[in-house]
Chains A and B, each alone.
Chain A
Amino acid sequence: MKKAFGPLAALVGVMFVAAPFVVANAPYESTMGLVQKIFYFHVPSWFAMFTAIGICGVASLYHLFKNSPKADRLAEAAGELAVLFGLMGLVTGPLWGRKSWGVWWQWDAKLTIALLLEMTFISGILVRKYGGPGSDKLAAAVGIFGLAVTPFVYEAVNIWRTIHPLTSVVPTLSAAMAGPFWFCVSAFMLLLVVLLTLRVNLGARQAALDELYLAQED
């Protein structure tokens, strides 16, 4: 993994530099025009967030039942990245909405649950930072709760009436739009892998430091 990390990080950098040019060549959407091109970064950021939540939830479950520090570090890293990618989605979405809906924000089901999901994972970070002893277990419970909420965020547009585009948009994309879209999804997923590797490594170093402190006290 260490050998592959450098080329992978370079590939992600190249993909993110190329992404605006790839998106610029995608056709305009008939009703929204230029602003619809935010879609190519907005939706992949949610895909990356949902993947990070999946990793966080599964690692949290493992840590709760097996008491694994490695799984805890993975859950911590993935939870932090869920916040990062969720923030991207929550910022790029209103920029798109301002033009296509005429408002920055709408308190409908989809947007409100997405905001609550972001706040859930921010609370997970705060629990770890200020929760004291046993906070890893509490944060794991928050991670599992976040994983349970995620399907509702995805399906909200199909369950409730909302002005947000439906989930049927992605499967029905034309070939000229699907190419740039999946290119951006790949870039975001690889970025998630790179950042997760870095963050897990940081967690491992912090754990090693804690071990050193304990050894010094003994």
Chain B
Amino acid sequence: MYLRRLLIALTSLMLCASPAFAVQTGVGQGGFVPVDSVPLADQLPAAPLLITAYAFVWIAVMVYLFSIWRRLNKVEADMRALAQKMPQR
């Protein structure tokens, strides 16, 4: 009789406890794992990278053209200065 009551009590406890196991969620994060690169979803959008690339090419060409123009102007100025000096000799 005593054994039967104990068996019923244990079975009832198990049945009551089973939903608790059934709704278990994932284990909480116990630590952080470092990675070298940003996850793909958090990376920069493509448009600024694309615009920067195209803008850089334009800027590089403009800077180079300016450097040629500046060097050419200096050569021409030196030539004019030299030409002015030469007849005086």
Residue of A nearest to B71 (CB): A202
Which of B44, B53, B64 is packed against the most chain A CB atoms within 10 Å? B53
Contact B60 A35 (CB under 8 A): no
Q: Please tell me which one of the listed residues A20, A33, A195, A201 contacts residue B64 in the complex, with CB atoms under 8 A apart.
A: A195
B79 at the interface (CB under 8 A from A): yes
**Size class of the B contact interface (CB-based, 8 Å):** 20 to 34
Contact A35 B72 (CB under 8 A): no
A14 at the interface (CB under 8 A from B): no
Are A41 and B79 CB-contacts (below 8 A) given A16-B58, A198-B68?
no
A96 at the interface (CB under 8 A from B): yes
A139 at the interface (CB under 8 A from B): no
Give chain A interface residues in 151-204, CB to chain B under 8 Å. 191, 195, 198-199, 201-202
Query: How many A-B residue pairs lie within 8 Å, measured between CB atoms?
Result: 85
Q: Which of B3-11, B26-34, B35-43 contacts A (4 or more CB under 8 A)?
A: B35-43
18 contacts between A and B (CB under 8 A): A16-B61, A20-B54, A35-B46, A88-B56, A91-B60, A92-B53, A92-B57, A95-B52, A98-B43, A98-B49, A99-B44, A102-B38, A102-B40, A195-B68, A198-B65, A199-B68, A212-B83, A212-B86
Residue numbers of B with Cβ under 8 A of A are 37-38, 40, 43-44, 46-47, 49-50, 52-54, 56-58, 60-61, 64-65, 68, 71-72, 75-76, 78-79, 82-83, 85-86, 89
